[in-house]
Structure 1
Amino acid sequence: MQELLSVTLITILAVISPGADFALVTRNSFTHGRTMGLWTTLGIGVGVQIHVFYTMVGVGIVIATQPAMLSALKIVGAVYLIYIGYQTFRGMPATSINDTQSSSHLSPCSSL
């Protein structure tokens, strides 16, 4: 039961985060109306649930048949997350406290 709650929470967090799906729903809502936006949202939700289903089935098969493969998968996942974190910090631009760049030339729409 705890695994189901974890998967549900992670799925909800992934779905509500802004991204391409959010842009698609917004575009369809603006161009075709609220009903089309709701249908788009429903389609995205069904698609996400299908992906979660076959992922969980695949992980369940791996857990049941290959415990060593599960350990290897955990290690590979941890190394990948460390790599992503390293790339994030390595790519950050150096900023100076004395940076005198003014924001007065920005347009009102630049904050969007």
Structure 2
Amino acid sequence: MAHYKAVESKREQFRHYLEKSGMLDLLTKVLVALYEEPEKPNNALDFLKNHLGALAPENPELDALRMEVAEMKEKYEAVLEENKNLKNKLAQYEPPQDEKHGEKL
């Protein structure tokens, strides 16, 4: 009987942990969303994974990383444009490849 109470106590502790962390609410919301889907997805696990990420509370660090990615994309596009412009300028001053070969002979 003591073993049963120890297992039950561990379960209750874990349940309280899930409640405190908000995990029970999150899981409930995702399962309700799956239940309310008019056309059930072929892969329920993928549905849960996708919706768990969408319903999870936003992490401030995640927002900072998203901002950094957006900035890096802008810089990347600017560097690509600059590279294109520099290649065009270089092409104006370099002789065509055929002329280069003729000069070396």
| TM-score normalized with structure 1 length | 0.30
Higher helix share: 2
* Higher Rg of the two aligned structures: 2
Greater relative contact order (Cα < 8 A, sep 6+):
2
